[in-house]
Structure 1
Amino acid sequence: MSIDQRLLRGPGPLLDSSGELADVGWAREPLLDCNLENAAFYGLRFLQPLRIKRWDYYGITTPTHFFSFTVSDVGYLGSIFAYAVEFASGRYHEETLTVPLARGVRLPRGSQQGESVYDNGRVRLHFSAAADHRRVAVRWPGFGGQELSAEAILHLTPGHDSMVIVIPIPKKRFYYNRKVNCMPAEGSLTCFGQNFTLDPATCLGNLDWGRGVWAYNSFWVWASASGFLPDQRTIGLNLGFGFGDTSAATENAFILNGRLHKLGEVKFSYDSKHFTRPWGMRSADGRLDLEFTPFFERVAKTDAKILLSEVHQMFGRYNGTAVTDEGERIEIRDLIGFAEEHHARW
């Protein structure tokens, strides 16, 4: 099935010599060099690094839990956080470190290789990327009064599609994003006083890699899932809307056994005063029709004066249908994932 959205040409630079986006659209793999040194949205160029946002967010979904680890640099602050959710009980814990001027935060130029590191001598997060896998290593003593540690490999086989998007935001601002769903996860993890073995037959990882410059007041909605169909094919969701100009391309897609099936506009229906009520997500062309029923609400608020963030992230189950590019109708039943609304001043 064809879609009227622009494919990135690539390879090439993200920004031209004047700081404008060299291309806009979507792709199945990261094609553009993230040359943030060309950003030119302030007259005083030395101030620009204070508004450039960069993050690497990893999630691991197991049959019983969701674990998440992030290293980020929002320009004037670093934000290092981890959280864990136990599905059956609603047990949840989250901790965040806010680091002035992002001291000690190291993030790579691109998403294909390199290391993302934060280490203050006590807490250490170390992510590394190679051609066929990602490594997530975490040590966080005293996390919820106990230890959080992880040593995980997320497999990324050649040809496994990503959802890559480049969109403009007014006044020479922009967003370059890569989402990867359904990476088989293996290794070990300790949290809540329990030791977990990550089995790639049941555990999947996801990546949200973001780089760009936003308006100070921003808003977005993001929905994601990585799981399995009854026939053991992997199924992933990446849906969203909010900031930026998505006329060239949206970030909406589902990923079946590593192959991305691109969607156009998806309409969300939900009650922002009662997030725990069911959400609807339906594409304009009828290829996606989902109901999301939350069972847990994670609320994360940060107020660092110049930076304000409020997230309502709902964990729940997706039910409905999706139609592939070839016309196969996929039945989605009780797929665990999340959907969130995020307001930020940053």
Structure 2
Amino acid sequence: MERLIQANGQPHYGIFPAAPGEVNYRDFDFRSPMGRRLGALAKWRRFHQFQYFGLVSHELIGGCALGNLSLLGIGFVYLFHPPSGRMIERQFRLPLGFGSTFSQQPDSGICELRSGGNLLRLENSAQPREKRLLVELDDGTRIEAHFSEQQPAFQPMCICTPTAVNGWVYAQKVAGVRCQGTVQSALGDFDLARIDAFAHHDWSAGYMRPETFWNWACLSGEVAGTRVGLNLSCGVNETSFSENCYWLDGELLPVSGVHFQFNRDEPLQPWRIVSADGQVELDFRGHGLHREQLNLGFLASNFKQVFGCFQGTLRPPGRAPVVIDNLWGFVEDQYVKW
């Protein structure tokens, strides 16, 4: 589809075979819960967008996110070195998003944040279908990473769901793809192809619940010659349709609702994640985490992203089980008020 919002001001809902050309949120017929039509200022204030690029291998874990929260632009980047346990991380907050730009084209466009001598840049290309990450920090850290959804073929999860009484969320997820590029940092220099790194990607935007939470799990790697990716969530993107899925060699396999069991006060303690349909049964043990807290009253966040290893089993219907043994990935516990 060319645009997510239709001529009647309402989104296309469902799971799509490909991304819309544009998430044209300004054309949305945004109403109050009581049915009053809301104007351009309310559309701007309530529309939020974020993008995330993660990379995993046994030698290096990394994550970079950009967010447009209307009143605040945010960004973070971190690198974790599993053999030594060392980590570097940076956070950025820009009032009203000054110094940041965000494209509303999921497969074609640039989102970036500039702060002093620091640059976080995510670039998506439709032809060829690629996602690229560039990070340049004033301490000399540099990340150049990219992956292809074309060679070999990959089927992304593209979904739009109703949210609360008057909102919607479009989300696009990728996991289980090989990553190429280089990293230079205080942790060392790395060739991502040489260390057999995998990537995952999240592009999400819309009119999310004003106060919400979610748990999320993602892994990427190879099992017995098969590329495996996983994307599971609870709390968002599960009204009428669900983003829960995993990939085997780029083929998307849907999953029903999932339950996260974990200690919210001690996120590095073991997690257990199971699906109602029996396809997913995983244990996760954290090795480190990136944590952020913000409380401005009208805007608040309690965010914990944990990176570590998964063990367990995926049971695709009609196929042999896939045994997950120490595959690196992420889990997340997030509360946000915006």
TM-score, L = length of structure 1: 0.88
Q: Does 1:236 align with 2:222?
A: no
CA distance in 2, matches of 1:205, 1:343: 25
Return the letter of the residue paired with 2:57: T
Aligned residue in 2 for 1:140: 137
**Mapped contact 2:121–2:135 kept (Cα < 8 A):** yes
Q: Does 1:21 align with 2:14?
A: no
Aligned residue in 1 for 2:121: 126
Aligned residue in 2 for 1:8: none
Return the letter of the residue paired with 1:266: V
Structure 1 ranges of 4+ moved more than 4 A: none
Aligned residue in 2 for 1:178: 172
**Mapped contact 1:28–1:260 kept (Cα < 8 A):** no
Q: Does 1:72 align with 2:67?
A: yes
State the SS of the aligned residue for 2:141.
Answer: strand
Aligned residue in 2 for 1:308: 300
CA distance in 1, matches of 2:2, 2:182: 38
CA distance in 1, matches of 2:306, 2:91: 19
**Mapped contact 2:23–2:106 kept (Cα < 8 A):** no
Aligned residue in 2 for 1:153: 146
Aligned residue in 2 for 1:35: 24
What stretches of structure 2 of length at least 5 have no aligned partner? 33-37
1:193, CA displacement in angstroms?
4.7
1:98, CA displacement in angstroms?
1.0
CA distance in 2, matches of 1:299, 1:103: 23
Return the letter of the residue paired with 2:172: R
Aligned residue in 2 for 1:324: 316
Aligned residue in 2 for 1:95: 90
- Shift of the 48–62 alpha-carbon distance from structure 1 to 2, 3 Å rule, reads same
Aligned residue in 2 for 1:86: 81
CA distance in 1, matches of 2:200, 2:142: 18
Correspondences of 1:101-116 after superposition (within 5 Å): 101-116=96-111
**Mapped contact 2:259–2:275 kept (Cα < 8 A):** yes
**Mapped contact 1:226–1:337 kept (Cα < 8 A):** yes
State the SS of the aligned residue for 1:327.
Answer: coil
State the SS of the aligned residue for 1:46.
Answer: helix
Q: Deviations over 1:13-58 (max 9, x none)?
A: 42335543332x2234324641111231452332321221112211
The two structures, once aligned, show a CA RMSD in angstroms of 2.1
1:187, CA displacement in angstroms?
1.7
**Mapped contact 2:289–2:304 kept (Cα < 8 A):** yes
Q: Deviations over 1:67-107 (max 9, x none)?
A: 11222211111112211222234322321111111123222
Q: Does 1:47 align with 2:42?
A: yes
**Mapped contact 2:26–2:40 kept (Cα < 8 A):** no
Aligned residue in 1 for 2:35: none
1:315, CA displacement in angstroms?
1.9
Number of aligned positions between the proteins: 329
Structure 1 vs Structure 2: percent identity of aligned residues? 23
CA distance in 2, matches of 1:135, 1:155: 9
Correspondences of 1:272-311 after superposition (within 5 Å): 272-311=264-303
**Mapped contact 1:72–1:105 kept (Cα < 8 A):** no
What stretches of structure 1 of length at least 5 have no aligned partner? 1-10
